[in-house]
Structure 1
C-alpha cells in the first residue's frame, strides 16, 4: 500500500476555500472545521497523507519561512520541509491505536508562525483486512445425548476479528455432515455467533463421536478465515438443557469500583434431575481483556471485578456466559457491563507555542503563549476552564479548544523583570480536579528611563590656591535600565564662564562623574561659577538629564593688607599732616586707610601703633585707623611727631603692613617752616653736618633761586592754567582728594590740601595742610611788598635745607 491510497474525505463546506488558496490566510480565524484526510492503515513510511501546505493556502516558500509543522501526543506524521506534504512517519496499526473503537481518527495540529496560527487536522485511519478471524479455542468439545431430539441447538464459541467494517467477521461455515447444520445469529451489539443444530437423532451405538470443522470468514477481498475443530461425544439421554432467567443481563458499574466488587449474578435452571440438573457457569468466547478484569464463579454464577476499571480505556464490556449441565446440555446469555465515568482524571495543559522573552514596551494584547487543555473524562467531568495566578498583567483568551496567553497591561522591566505565570486548569467534576503549569516570562529592557541625579543641584566649596588636577566634586546619576540603556556618561554642557576658558578651569570624567580643577582658583578673581552637567545613557535614542553644579571658591589669607593712606608722594617723599596747636583731646588728626584683597575674616583689619615719638600724645582706633589727639600739646612737646602704624588682617596666620605718619603741630604754614628748621628731630652727627651744609649752600644761592622763583611766577600768570596743588605762585594752590586707584573696600582718607614747591617737576617736599593755611601762604607770596619778597627769599633756602634733612630722616 503506497501513498497513493491517501485521499481527502469528500464533501464539507471547507473544501470551497481550498479552491482559493490565495484567500485562505484571510479566513484562518474563521476555520472551525478541521482539515480531514483518510488513509488506510499500515502505509509504508514516507507515504503522502495529503497536500497539507496546499490545503492551507501556503506556497512552497512559506513552508520553511513560516515553519509549518504538526504536533500531536504521539506523532505518527511529519511535514516534508520542501513540498509541505503530510507524510507517514511511523507504522500505523489501526487495531493497536484505536483498539475496539469502530471509528479511528487521529487528531493533529498544524502550526504555522509569522503570524502564529494553529489548524486542526483529522486523519481517519481506515481498516484493511490484515487480520483473519480467530477462535479462542482450537478445539470445541461437546457432549450430546443420543436422546436429544432433532432441532436442538447448541451455541458455539464465536470467533474474533479485530478488523472493522467489511473486513470484520462476516459468516460461519460448517463442514458437510449428515447430522448437524449451522445457524448464524446476531448479537445485540451487531456481532454474529454460530449455533449448532441437530438435524436427526443420534445413535451412540452406531457412531459415538462426530468430528466437524467450524470455519469463520471475514468480508475482506480476498476474505480471510479461521477454523476450530468440533468434537461431539454422543452420550446417553439428557433431554432438558439449562435455561437462564434472562437472555441479556445489563448492569452499570462505577469506574472507581475496587477489585472484588460484585457486579451481578447470572442464574439458570434445569428441569432434569440428579447430575443432569447440576449446572456450571463459564465465560463463552469472552475477550481476554474481560477475563482479566472480571471473574465468574462457576457454581454460583456470581461475576466480580478482578482489576480496577477505567472508563477512559473501555466504556463497555460484553460477555457471553454459558450454563451447562452434567449431560452436556448448555445454554447461554449475554452480559453487558456499562462503566460509568467518574472524575478521576485531572485536566492537562499542553503548551503549543511559547515566547518566554518579551520587550517591556510590548502593547497590551501581545500573544505570549498558545496552549490547549485535555481531560480524559467525559461529560461535565471533562469540561475545563482556565485561570491565571493573581496580580499578573496577563489574561487568557479562549478560542475553540485553544487558549491564548496575552498581555493585559503595560509592562515595566524596572519594576518586574520576570514573571512566574501559573496557569490553572479546573474541570467541572464533583469534586473538581485541577492541574497547574508555570510559565516563566523574561521581560526585555528598552530605553524608557532617563538618568536621574542623586541631588536636584550640587553646591561645592573649594579653597583657593588648590592644586591643579585635584578633584573638587563628584556627581552621580542612576539609570534603572540595563546594558547600554543604563550606562551613564557625564559631560559639561553649559557654564557661566567664558566658553573658551571653560576647559582651562574644570573638566569632568565621563565615566565616574568626578569634576577636576584644571587650574588653581583665585578667590580674589573668581569667587563663584556655575556649571551645567549632563548625564546621558547609551540607549537608542539616548536619554539625558541635566543638573547644576555651583562652585564656591573659598578665601585663604594669601593677601597682606595694602596701605592706601598715608602714601608717598610722586617723587617718593613722605607726606606730612598738620595739627593745630590748640587741638583738644579727641581731635581727629588723620586716618590710616588700608585695604585687603581677601574677604571675610581674612580682610578684617586692625590697626596697632608700633613706634611713636610720644606714645601718650596720640591714640589710634583699633578698627577705624583714626588718629586722634589723646591730650593737649604741651610746651615741651616737639612740633614734629612720628607714628609707625602696623595694619594686621584677621587671617591665621595674620599678614600685616606698616605705615609711617609724620605729624606737624602748627596753626599756619608760616609756623611750620621755621619750626621745621629750628626744631629738627634728634639725629646723629652725620645728619647735623649734612643739615649745616645744606643751609650754607642755600644762603650762597639765595639770590639765584629768588630770580628763578620770580621768573616762574611771571610765567605762571601768563599761562591759561596753573599747576594743580602748587602753593608758591598765583593760582597754584588747589584742593585735592587723595583716592587711591583700584580701591574697592575700606574707609577713604579725609580731604587735604596738597602743597608742593611750584615750578619743579619733582617737589622738594610735600605738605598736607588745611585750605585756609594754603590760602594764607598764597597771599604772602602774591604780596608785592618788599618784606614779603624778603620772607620768600628767606623761606626758600630754609625749606630746601629742611627738605634735605627730612628725606634723609624719613
Structure 2
C-alpha cells in the first residue's frame, strides 16, 4: 500500500502562429473538445500501472505501486482539442510515492560457529547479525533484542543495524549443554512489525571436572581364605565431562606402607576398577589394611582424584583348639596327675587349658568328658575345663583312671582337640612329696609373672617412701613463730638442750629443758620455756612445763 502525491508541470505547445481562442470560446463546439493522451516516449511499464481517461484526463492506478521499487513516477500527458487546426499542449505529471510500513525487518545471521566452547571467556564473538528493512524513515528503523535468561548479549557495531552476538558470562556445559536463542527485530513504524529468528548453539566440553567417587572412604568386609586372583571389590568413579575427558583409568596409589608394597598382593583393573587379591588373606596374621585408588581422566591436562579403601577381614573357623595343659614330654596332650586318696569331694584335680586363634564364637571353647573310667568320680566344668572329684575315694576304687577331654570351638563347623589326663591315686605321704616337686615346676613357669609383680611392687613402694620424705621436708622447712608461745626466763640462755615427750591418758606432754647455768633451778608452774606442740591425733593437746 502506498500514498501518491501528484505535481504538475505543463507546457503549452503552439501548432501554428494563430492565437488561441478567447477563454469564453474554449467550450464552444469542436474547438472546445479536449482529448488527453500519454506521451509517446512514456515507458511501456507505466501503462500497466497507470490509466489516463482520454475525455476527462483522470489518471487512475491500475497496477501495483511499490515505494521500494520506485519512489517517483514521471508521466508525460498530451492534450489536444478538435478544432481546425487542432491546438495541443504537453504536461508532465510527477507522482511521488509515499512509504507505508508494509515490510518486516529481515535478519541475516553469519555464524562463526554453531558450537561454543565452555572455556570461552566473556565477550567471545559467536555470530554476526545484520538487520535490514526495505521501508524508509521510522518504518525502516529497527531495534534488535535477545530472549531472556541466556548468557549471551548483542553488541551494536559501528554500522547501522549490525550486531555481534557475544558471550556475556562463562558457560558451563555440565549445567546447560545447548541454547536456543531467539533474536527479535522490531521496526518503529505504525503499526510496528517484528521478525523472529532462532539460533541453536551447542556448548562444547573442556576438561574442567575431576573424577568423583560416590563415597570416600569405602569400607570393605572380606572373609579370610579368599581365592587368590579373584575379585574382592570394585571402585567406580564418574566424571561430568564428555568423551575422552570422561574416560577414566584406575591405579593403586604407590607409596611406602607398613604392609609393604601393595602391588605384591593387590591388583586393580585400570579399565573397570575391579580389585583382586593376588594372595589369600589370613585373619590371624592380618586383620585390617588400607589402600588408595587413583582415578584419572584422559583429558588434557589430566585431572584425577583418589579414594581410600579400608579392608576389614572377617574370621573363618579355620583354627582348631590348641591344648596348653596337660602336655607330656613328647609334646602330646597327655598328662599324669597324682591325687591323695583322702581328698574330699570337690577337690581340684587339674585344669585343662586350651586356646583358639579364632575370635568370637569361632574361638569360644567348650569342654566335655569324652571318655572316663568312672563317671561317679570325676566331673568337668564345660566352660573352664576344671576337673574335680565328685565324691571321696574308697579302697575299692582303682588306683589309676583315664580321662579323655574333648575340646571344641563354637564355629558353624566345630573344630576339635582332645586331651588325656591320667589320674593316679596315691597315699597322702607320697602325694605331699609329689606336690612339692610339682610346686617347683609351677614356680619355674610363674617366674616371669612373679618378676613383673616384684618390679611393680618395688616401684610403688619407692614412690610412697619418696612422697613421705618430701612431706617431712616440707613440714620441717616451715618457719615456726614462737614469739607468742613462750615468755623469756631469767635463767634461760637461749639454747634448747633437750626435750622429753610423754603421754598421760588422752593427753600428750612435752618437756623442754634449756641449757641452765650452774646453780639455776626450774620453777614448776612457770610459764617460761613453754612450747606448745599440736597433737595431730587429738583436737586438744595440753603441754606443761616441768
Aligned ranges for residues 193-204 of structure 1 at < 5 Å? 196-198=13-15, 200=17
Aligned ranges for residues 703-718 of structure 1 at < 5 Å? none
Does structure 1 residue 417 correspond to structure 2 residue 417? no
- Cα RMSD of the aligned pairs, angstroms, is 3.3
Q: Which residue, 403, 414, 439 being the options, matches 2:163?
A: 403
Q: Which residue of 2 aligns with 1:611?
A: 371
* CA distance in 2 between partners of 1:624 and 1:572 (Å): 21
Q: Which residue of 2 aligns with 1:321?
A: 77
SS at match of 2:45: helix
* CA distance in 2 between partners of 1:274 and 1:669 (Å): 188
Q: Which residue of 2 aligns with 1:307?
A: 63
Aligned ranges for residues 647-796 of structure 1 at < 5 Å? 647-666=407-426, 668-670=428-430, 727=437, 733=440, 735-736=442-443, 738=445
SS at match of 2:31: helix
Does structure 1 residue 295 correspond to structure 2 residue 51? yes
* CA distance in 2 between partners of 1:597 and 1:733 (Å): 30
User: What's the CA shift string for 1:50-107, capped at 9, x where partnerless?
Assistant: xxxxxxxxxxxxxxxxxxxxxxxxxxxxxxxxxxxxxxxxxxxxxxxxxxxxxxxxxx
Could you tell me the TM-score, scaled by structure 1's length? Answer: 0.50
User: What's the CA shift string for 1:611-670, capped at 9, x where partnerless?
Assistant: 011112222222222222333334433343321011111223211010011223457452
* CA distance in 2 between partners of 1:317 and 1:375 (Å): 22
Aligned residues: 438
Q: Which residue of 2 aligns with 1:449?
A: 209
- Offset, 1:240: 4.0
Aligned ranges for residues 82-121 of structure 1 at < 5 Å? none
- Offset, 1:409: 0.9
Provide closer, same or farther for how the CA distance between residues 431 and 630 of structure 1 changes in structure 2, counting only shifts above 3 A. farther
Could you tell me the TM-score, scaled by structure 2's length? Answer: 0.72
* CA distance in 1 between partners of 2:321 and 2:431 (Å): 36
Aligned partners of 2:338 and 2:431 also within 8 Å: no
SS at match of 2:46: helix
Q: Which protein is bigger by CA-based radius of gyration?
A: 1
Q: Which residue of 1 aligns with 2:244?
A: 484
* CA distance in 2 between partners of 1:359 and 1:424 (Å): 25
Provide closer, same or farther for how the CA distance between residues 239 and 197 of structure 1 changes in structure 2, counting only shifts above 3 A. closer
Does structure 1 residue 434 correspond to structure 2 residue 194? yes
Does structure 1 residue 279 correspond to structure 2 residue 34? yes
Aligned ranges for residues 312-351 of structure 1 at < 5 Å? 312-327=68-83, 328-351=86-109
SS at match of 1:361: coil
Q: Which residue of 1 aligns with 2:149?
A: 391
* CA distance in 1 between partners of 2:408 and 2:255 (Å): 37
* CA distance in 1 between partners of 2:233 and 2:28 (Å): 121
* CA distance in 2 between partners of 1:586 and 1:325 (Å): 166
Which is worse superposed, 293-302 or 610-619? 293-302
* CA distance in 1 between partners of 2:385 and 2:333 (Å): 22
* CA distance in 1 between partners of 2:220 and 2:421 (Å): 45
SS at match of 1:478: coil
Q: Which residue of 2 aligns with 1:5?
A: none
Which is worse superposed, 607-616 or 486-495? 486-495
Consecutive unaligned residues of structure 1, counting only runs of 5 or more, are 1-186, 202-237, 244-268, 677-724, 742-810
- Offset, 1:734: 5.4
- Offset, 1:397: 0.8
Does structure 1 residue 377 correspond to structure 2 residue 135? yes
Aligned partners of 1:496 and 1:531 also within 8 Å: no
Aligned partners of 2:286 and 2:313 also within 8 Å: yes
SS at match of 1:452: coil
Provide closer, same or farther for how the CA distance between residues 479 and 552 of structure 1 changes in structure 2, counting only shifts above 3 A. same
SS at match of 1:410: coil
SS at match of 1:288: coil
Aligned partners of 2:11 and 2:91 also within 8 Å: no
* CA distance in 1 between partners of 2:427 and 2:21 (Å): 181
Provide closer, same or farther for how the CA distance between residues 734 and 298 of structure 1 changes in structure 2, counting only shifts above 3 A. same
Q: Which residue of 2 aligns with 1:514?
A: 274
Consecutive unaligned residues of structure 2, counting only runs of 5 or more, are 1-5, 449-546
Provide closer, same or farther for how the CA distance between residues 607 and 287 of structure 1 changes in structure 2, counting only shifts above 3 A. same
Which structure has more relative contact order (CA 8 Å, sep 6+)? It is: 2
User: What's the CA shift string for 1:780-808, capped at 9, x where partnerless?
Assistant: xxxxxxxxxxxxxxxxxxxxxxxxxxxxx
